Amino acid sequence: MVVFLCVSGILISDLQMADNSEQYIDKSSPEGMRYDQYNNVFVADSFVLLIQTSDVYDTKFLQALLMLEEEAKRLDYVSGTISVADLLKNANGGVLPQNRADIERAVSSVPAESFKSIMPDSQTTLAYIEIDRGISTDVTEELVPRVESLVANAEFPPGVSIEITGTTPYDVQLMDVMIENAVMLIGAAFLFMGIVLCILFSNMRYWFLPILLLLFGLVYTFAMMSLLGVKMGNGAIAAFPILLGLGIDYAVQFHARFDEEMRKGNSIEESNKITLSNTGPAVLYAMLATLMGFFAMFISPVPMIICFAQVAIIGVTCCYVSSLFGFPALVSILKYTPKKESEMPPNVILQEKYTHLLEGLVPKVIKGSFLILVVALVVAFSGMHIDPSIPIDTDDSSMAPTDLPAKTTLDKVQEACGSLTEFPLYVRGDSLRSLESVKWMDDFGTHMMDIHSEFTGVTSPATLVKEQNGGEMPTDQATLNAAFNNVSKNSLDGVLSGDNEAIISFSTVILSFPEQDELKSEVVNDLVWSEVPAGIEVYPTGDFDMYTSLMHNIADTKDTMTYLGFVLIFVFLALAYRQKEAVTPLVPIVCVVGWNAVVMVLIGMHYNVISACLGSMTIGVSAEYTILVMERYLEEKKRCSNPEESIKHSVKKVGAAVTVSGLVTASGFSALMLSAFPIIANFGLSTVICVIFSLIGAIAIMPATLSLVGKLGAKRAKAAA
């Protein structure tokens, strides 16, 4: 294991990070390929400088701004810059005005529309550093520290502040925070689990062994992610505390059973044999049942959810294997001996009281099993009924830390200048330079501007041609070709590629995601009636389409994932056990899924990109605890023919261990609530609630279900006799 640990450390260095769009759209889908084609061909990245000063028209400020631009233009892959200084310089015959009178004269000669995008008010201005088209994200990211250095070293007058934002600076900062956040969450999860384990598991010698084995499993998980090409993203970050919480549970179960066998006077070898032959398969079945819930997530079209499932499956499997082989090896090397009574800490009395509480609780649960199940299932089915009505939050502000500098600056820019997220339509077809095609683009763009007040402007091959033709659409192909030849290459490349790809891009006011989605639906419907020329296809694309489609993808598959999880775990239990008790874990699982929805409504929680998989994840988590109880019940049933006595013994033997596992798991999950990413923090609260309900399901609902099944079996046997 140590050798594999060292090898894993080397493999981890190749672990890759997922960029923002990779987490929300499947790049192998038609939509994903169009998204990449649009960004690679038509989108020229740019850095936005938000500049605040007491006087935008101060000559010293303008001179310093021009000098900064000249330095930026010397950087590789920078195609140009745009600022208020450039406008004034061009309006003054190529020379920057040197006094207030010349500046005012230059300002008056520039159309007001030209200032709109770069000067929201007299004390705020924007400057753009434009990057060449076709430059990869990796190369653009390398420019970020160089631009930051230029800005930091620029000699502006006192009182001038400059903040950098844009897609690339935002993504770079987000990536850095994502890595820091992952390290922090994993560290917090280990700390919380260590504290809880130290308190609740202190009656065991070497109580820290589960944490040590978990550490092995975690490193193996990172290595397997690297080998399998699973990238680190928000889904992976959310999955790590989940797999840590579940992974430590396996070692806890092995440890508890081994200590129990050692206290019977067995040798280490014999105790290991009994533990592995009984607890090993039980934990394996519990793990496989857990994986059924995660496998159900693969039907989601959202890459973030699939990444969550992949990391959880890899991690849980690695943690189980680490415990299966590592625990027997460690206790053998350490010559394990159980703690004596004199070595027991004071809190063991509390654990003994809890065990006695379980012993007293089980008979009452058995006695009222029918009523308990009726009430539990009524509440559960009520929750499942109202679950579809719980809103899905896809607000982009919840997908990044609220205090991320580039995000804060981006919000300021949008507040000042309006939305920076354009709504592009990707046009594909033959002869897009033909008069018929360009005229249709003009008619459609003009019509959309007339009927949709949300649009503030439109750019397309048609708008560029009209600018070169006195504001009128050419009436013949020759005039159109001449107009195309007069358009600057840089401008034309932003909307037209060859003869078969073009973009119609609408600028919009600031819209919420539901408003964006409604607008997109209306435009798509308008396209149907717009008489698109034969051979031409038009699709929404870009971030506008990605985020609105994300909302639909989550809503369309959320419930399906849950139902598929139920089907997979039912099939698994039926095939694995092939007896009437096999389906009993489904009852508490259904209860927990339904209870989760009720609590979400009561406390006003919403689903988000990650918590949309809560239903199928709950199935996996709940299955583990209920199967452990059922496994011990089946083991006790072989020794005792009385079902009720078997239930009492099984809950007494594993109830405390399951509770310790659950609380340790919940403590690991609770680390998610410390995340700087709101979607992960909210998911953390959801998972803690899920674990608490899963414990209730295993300790109360599962015994009631087994009791009812036992009573029905006894009645049938009696009737048959």
Q: Is residue 98 part of a domain?
A: yes
What's the domain range around 575?
201-397+548-720
Q: Are residues 264 and 376 in the same domain?
A: yes
Q: Are residues 516 and 565 in the same domain?
A: no
Nearest 10 degrees: CA dihedral of 281, 282, 286, 291?
0
Q: How many domains does the chain have?
A: 3
Q: Is residue 184 part of a domain?
A: no
Tell me the β-bridge partners of 123.
none
φ, ψ at 79 (rounded to 5°)? -90, -20
State the pLDDT at residue 426. 94
For residues 720 and 541, give the distance between their C-alpha atoms in angstroms, rounded to a whole number.
67
CATH number, domain of 157, equals: 3.30.70
The helix/strand/coil state of 535 is: coil
Contact 186, 218 (CB under 8 A): yes
State the pLDDT at residue 271. 93
For residues 145 and 143, give the distance between their C-alpha atoms in angstroms, rounded to a whole number.
6
Q: Are residues 368 and 487 in the same domain?
A: no
CATH number, domain of 374, equals: 1.20.1640.10
Last residue within a domain, chosen from 132, 153, 171: 171
Q: Are residues 607 and 584 in the same domain?
A: yes
Query: Which candidate, 512, 634, 498, 614, places its Cα nearest to that of 565?
Result: 614
Q: Is residue 404 part of a domain?
A: no
Q: Are residues 590 and 667 in the same domain?
A: yes
Query: What tokens appear for 357 in the block?
Result: 């509480």
Q: Are residues 383 and 473 in the same domain?
A: no
Q: Is residue 415 part of a domain?
A: no
Q: Is residue 414 part of a domain?
A: no
For residues 354 and 362, give the distance between their C-alpha atoms in angstroms, rounded to a whole number.
12
Q: Is residue 193 part of a domain?
A: no
Last residue within a domain, chosen from 156, 171, 186: 171
Q: Are residues 661 and 561 in the same domain?
A: yes
φ, ψ at 124 (rounded to 5°)? -135, 135
Residues of the chain with pLDDT under 70: 345-352, 394-399, 416-419, 713-714, 716-721
Q: Are residues 612 and 481 in the same domain?
A: no
Q: Are residues 529 and 554 in the same domain?
A: no
Tell me the β-bridge partners of 121.
124
For residues 388 and 558, give the distance between their C-alpha atoms in angstroms, rounded to a whole number.
9
State the pLDDT at residue 348. 63
Q: Are residues 211 and 132 in the same domain?
A: no
Residues 6+ apart with CB under 8 A from 71: 150, 154
Last residue within a domain, chosen from 171, 192, 210: 171
Cα-to-chain-centroid distance, residue 43: 25
Q: Is residue 214 part of a domain?
A: yes
Q: Are residues 528 and 561 in the same domain?
A: no
Q: Are residues 268 and 311 in the same domain?
A: yes
Q: Is residue 235 part of a domain?
A: yes
Residues 6+ apart with CB under 8 A from 538: 425, 426, 427, 428, 504, 527, 532
User: What count of Cα atoms within 13 Å lies in the side-chain half-sphere of residue 515?
Assistant: 10
